[in-house]
A and B are shown apart, each in its own frame.
Chain A
Amino acid sequence: MDSFTAIVIAIFLPFVFAGFLSPLERIFKDKIGWFAAAVALVSFLLIAYVAPDIIHGEIIEHTVSWVPSAGISFSIYADGLAIMIGFIASGIGVIIMSYSNGYMSHEEELTRYYQYLLLFMGSMIGMVFSANTIQLFVFWELTSITSFMLIGYWRHKPQSVYGATKSLLITAAGGLFMLAGFLLLRTITGSFDLTAIFHDPYMIETIKGHDLFLPILILLLIGAAAKSAQGPFYIWLPNAMEAPTPVSAFLHSATMVKAGIYLIARIHPIFSGTDAWFILVSGIGISTMLLAGFLALRQTDIKAILAYSTISQLAYMMTMYGYTTYHDPGIGVAAATFHLLNHATFKACLFLVAGIVVHEAATRDIRKLGGLWREMPITFVIASIAALAMAGIPPLNGFLSKEMFYETSIEMGSLLGSPFNILIPALAVLGGVFTFAYSIKLIDGIFLGKRCDEHLPEHIHDPSAIMLIPAAFLAGLVILFGLVPSIPIHYIVEPTTSGILLETVHLHVQLWHGFTPALMMTIVTFIAGILVYSRYDNIANWQNRFNSGYPWISVNYYYDHLVDNAKEHAHRFALFTQPGGIKTYVNAMLILMIVLMIIPLFTVTTTLIPSNLNFEIPLYEGLTMLIMIVAALTAALYHKYLLAVIALSGVGYMVSLIFIYLKAPDLALTQILVETLSTIIFLLVIVKIPQTFRERIPKTVLARDLCIATAVSLTILVLLLNATQGIVPPFESISHYFIEKTLPLAGGHNIVNVIIVDFRGYDTLGEISVLCLAALGVYNLIQSREERE
Chain B
Amino acid sequence: MTDLMLLAPEITIVVTGLVVLLAGLFMSTPSKKILAYFSTLGCIIALVLTINSLGTSATLFSGTLGINALSQFFKLVFLTVTLLVSIASIKYTEGNSHTEEFYTLVLFATFGMMMVASAEDLMVLFVAFELASLATYALAGFEKQNPRSLEAAMKYFIAGALSGALLLLGISFVYGASGTTNISAVAQNADLLMSSPMGLLSVVLLIAGFGFKIALVPFHMWAPDTYQGSPSVVSALLAAGSKKMGFVAAFKVFIVALIGLQADWTIAFAILAVITMTYGNVVALSQTSVKRMLAYSSLAQAGYISMAFVVLTPMALTGGILYALSHGFMKAGAFIATAAVVYMVFKDDKKSEIPDHIDNFKGLGKRMPITALSLTIFVFALAGIPPTAGFVSKFILFSSTIESGFVWLAVIAIINSAISLYYYARVVKYMYFIPAEGERVSEPAPYVVALLIAVFGVLAIGFWPEPFVQMAMNAADVLI
Binding site for B on A (CB under 8 A): 65-70, 134, 137-138, 141-142, 145, 148-149, 152, 155-156, 160-161, 164-165, 168-169, 172-173, 176-177, 179-180, 183-184, 186-187, 563, 566-568, 570-571, 573-574, 577-578, 580, 582, 584-586, 588-590, 592-593, 596-597, 600-601, 603-605, 719, 722-723, 726-727, 729-731, 762, 773, 776, 779-780, 783-784, 787
**A67, A134, A169, A187: residue with the most chain B Cβ atoms closer than 10 Å:** A67
The answer to whether B36 has its CB under 8 Å from any CB of chain A is no
Complex formed: what's the CA distance from A446 to B179 in Å? Answer: 88
On whether the beta carbons of A187 and B403 are closer than 8 Å, the reply is yes
A588 & B218 in contact (Cβ 8 Å cutoff): yes
Q: Are A176 and B25 in contact (CB under 8 A)?
A: no
B201 touches A600 (CB 8 A): yes
Q: Is the CB of B425 closer than 8 A to any CB of chain A?
A: yes
* Residue B407 is within 8 A (CB to CB) of chain A in the complex: yes
Cβ of A592 and Cβ of B385 under 8 Å apart?
A: no
A-B contact sample (7 more), CB < 8 A, given A585-B158, A585-B222: A70-B465, A141-B386, A574-B287, A582-B158, A586-B162, A723-B173, A784-B98
Are B176 and A727 in touch, CB under 8 angstroms?
A: yes
Within the complex, the shortest CB–CB distance from A468 to chain B, in Å, comes to 32
Q: Which residues of A contact B143 (CB under 8 A)?
A: none
Name the interface residues of B211-250: CB closer than 8 Å to any CB of A.
212, 218-219, 221-222, 224-225
Majority-rule SS of B interface residues: helix
A183 touches B410 (CB 8 A): yes
- Chain A residues within 8 Å of B422, by CB: 165, 169, 563, 566
The residue of chain A having its C-beta at the shortest distance from the C-beta of B192 within the complex is: A730
Bound form: Cα–Cα A784–B100 in Å? 12
Question: Complex formed: what's the CA distance from A582 to B434 in Å?
Answer: 37
Top 8 A-B residue pairs of the complex, sorted by shortest distance between their CB atoms: A600-B200, A571-B286, A604-B197, A138-B386, A173-B418, A585-B221, A570-B286, A570-B285
> Which residue numbers of B lie inside 8 Å of A, CB to CB?
18, 21-22, 24-25, 61, 97-98, 100-101, 154-155, 158-159, 162-163, 166, 173, 176-180, 189, 192, 196-198, 200-201, 203-205, 208, 212, 218-219, 221-222, 224-225, 264, 279, 282-287, 315, 318, 363, 380, 384-387, 391-392, 395-396, 398-399, 402-403, 407, 410-411, 414, 417-418, 421-422, 425-426, 429, 432-435, 465-466, 469-470, 473
A480 to chain B, nearest CB (A): 39
B429 to chain A, nearest CB (A): 6
30 A-B residue contacts at CB 8 Å? A67-B469, A138-B391, A145-B380, A145-B385, A148-B425, A152-B429, A165-B425, A172-B385, A180-B402, A180-B411, A180-B414, A186-B403, A566-B422, A567-B285, A578-B225, A580-B225, A582-B154, A584-B221, A588-B221, A589-B212, A592-B219, A593-B204, A600-B197, A600-B201, A727-B196, A730-B178, A730-B189, A731-B179, A776-B22, A780-B25
**Contacts A187-B403, A589-B159; is A161 near B179 (CB within 8 Å)?**
no
- Residues in B whose Cβ lies below 8 Å from that of A780: 21, 24-25, 100-101
- A164: nearest chain-B partner, CB-CB: B433
B429 touching A597, Cβ below 8 Å: no
Cα separation A286 to B440 with both chains bound (whole Å) = 52
Which residues of A lie under 8 Å from residue B432 when comparing CB positions?
149, 152, 155
**Cα distance, A731 to B178, chains bound together (Å):** 10
Taking a contact as CB atoms under 8 Å apart, the answer to whether B391 and A722 are in contact is no
Choice from B177, B200, B219, B403 contacting A589 with Cβ under 8 Å: B219
- Decide: B421 and A168 in contact? CB cutoff 8 A: yes
Pick the contact of A184 from B198, B402, B418, B470 — CB < 8 Å? B402
Q: Give the chain A neighbours of B97 by CB distance below 8 A.
A: 784, 787
CA distance A120 to B417 in the complex (A): 23
A559–chain B nearest beta-carbon distance, Å? 12
C-alpha spacing A504/B205, complex, angstroms: 67
- Separation of A65 and B399 alpha carbons in the complex (Å): 19
Bound CA–CA A168/B24 (angstroms): 51
- Of chain A, the residue at the smallest CB distance from B197 is A604
Chain B residues with CB under 8 Å of A723's CB are 173, 176, 198
- A residues within 8 A CB of B100? 780
Given A180-B410, A186-B403: A604 and B200 interface contact (C-beta under 8 Å): yes
A731 near B180 (CB under 8 angstroms)? yes
Taken together as a complex, chains A and B put the C-alpha atoms of A65 and B470 apart, in Å, by 14
Cα(A138)–Cα(B352), bound, Å:
41
